[in-house]
Amino acid sequence: MDDLILRGGIIAGSQQDLAIRHGRIRQIAPCISTPAQATLDIAAKLVLPGFIESHIHPDKAFIAARTSGLRRGGPSPQVLVAQLKKEFTVEDIYKRARRVMLCAIRHGCTSMRAHVEIDAFVELRGVAALQRVQAEFAGMLDLQLIAFAQEGIFHDEVTQSLLREGLQMGLPILGGCPYMDRDPRRHIDWFFNAAETAGVPLDFHADSGDDPSALTCDYIAEQTIARGMHGRVTLGHLCTLDMLEPDRRARVIETLQQAGIHVISLPATELHVKGRADKHTWRGVTRLEELRAAGVNVSISTNNIVNPFTPYGHPDLLRQALVTAMAAHLGNLDQMAWLLDLITINPARALGLQDYGLAAGCYADLVVLDAASPAQAITEQAEKLWVLKAGRVTARNTRTSDITMHA
């Protein structure tokens, strides 16, 4: 007997039933008549695989009220947050990160890859806090943690060994930030060497600036190929791509594709931070359609939540889809359908998730939206009526409104 059957949802463009057994999808078919413990009527509602936050910072979420925010001529968001980090306690990080998880689940998220900052300011307190959150939410949300060097690795004597300690504590991914060190190539080399030694994949914050001469993603792609790490390297940001001349950009994108680099765009942060002093406003969002056309695996993610990098950030990937549609001119119906791939199947590839998707045998990680099509879901910012993790309901959301007609 099945544990649950979802009745009449829109799956791959047509109305179908979806049967769940032992946490996985057993069958998807127009009419499933076998017995089940429970059924859910979701007639004509869009069913998607669970949303995936592929690049997010729960450890520095919800701190906007502790700082002045960005001002013309004022400190960068990195400087503002570095000051605050010194005061972070495990309990403080835990409470804020926990709130991120609850919001993310409420908005349809079933898997997440989070950057955990490790440096002289916060040391390993973020690791302790996020591992506590990871254990608490196991079974509701799969949380991958990156040992991440937001402050660079050559400014002090402790960060490199703290990063190795983070890996020893069980973090399975290394995250670099080349633009935070004076010699970005030396930074990149260190991370490739450390990743080879530890046998872990890499996830860089790369090319966040507007100076084409400071580009690093081409070097990262070359190193990825040279060291046989095809498909195991992910790059967030890539804003600088937008500043390259088209010929050079095409060559760089081809190298990214050859290296199997996963690209994650972070449109909400770029739109807040970038281009503030420009005569011509540079919005910073990477070249999504060109990357797509070249066959690069592209995703979008939330990045920052209520901090100086993105004061209005919220872990709602359907919102990111709308922000991206606006930022990257992706408003046609086929483009809006593609935008939902950027928060589901594409990040699943980037994160290396197994048995993910809308097919028999996959885990029943699902979101049911109050919409009939991808375009309607994005346009109306449709409610996430049901969120399921491995076949169990983790969130049920409703939205009501009463409109009074007056003659």
Interface residues toward Zn ion, by CB under 5 A: 303
Phi, psi for 23 (deg, rounded to 5) = 85, -5
Residue with tokens 């990080």: 93
Residue 317 Cβ vs Zn ion, minimum distance, rounded to whole Å: 15
Which residue number, 263 or 375, has a Cβ lying nearer to Zn ion? 263
Residue with tokens 């991958």: 144
Please identify the residue of the shown chain whose CB is closest to the bound Zn ion: 303
Residue 266 Cβ vs Zn ion, minimum distance, rounded to whole Å: 6
- Give the dihedral of Cα atoms 57, 331, 248, 174; nearest 10 deg: 20
**Is the separation of the CB atoms in 59 and 93 below 8 Å?**
yes
Residue 115 Cβ vs Zn ion, minimum distance, rounded to whole Å: 6
**Is the separation of the CB atoms in 236 and 206 below 8 Å?**
yes
Which residue number, 240 or 303, has a Cβ lying nearer to Zn ion? 303
Please state, in angstroms and rounded to a whole number, the distance separating the CA atoms of residues 132 and 70. Answer: 32
Residue 57 Cβ vs Zn ion, minimum distance, rounded to whole Å: 6
Q: Length of the chain, please? A: 407
Residue 150 Cβ vs Zn ion, minimum distance, rounded to whole Å: 8
Residue type, 241: L
Residue 104 Cβ vs Zn ion, minimum distance, rounded to whole Å: 15
Which residue number, 45 or 55, has a Cβ lying nearer to Zn ion? 55
From residue 130, alpha-carbon distances to 57, 98, 343 in Å are 10, 9, 22
- The H-assigned helical ranges of 57-89 are 77-85
Which residue number, 40 or 235, has a Cβ lying nearer to Zn ion? 235
Which residue number, 121 or 363, has a Cβ lying nearer to Zn ion? 121
Which residue number, 192 or 309, has a Cβ lying nearer to Zn ion? 309
- The H-assigned helical ranges of 151-287 are 159-168, 184-198, 217-226, 246-258, 267-273
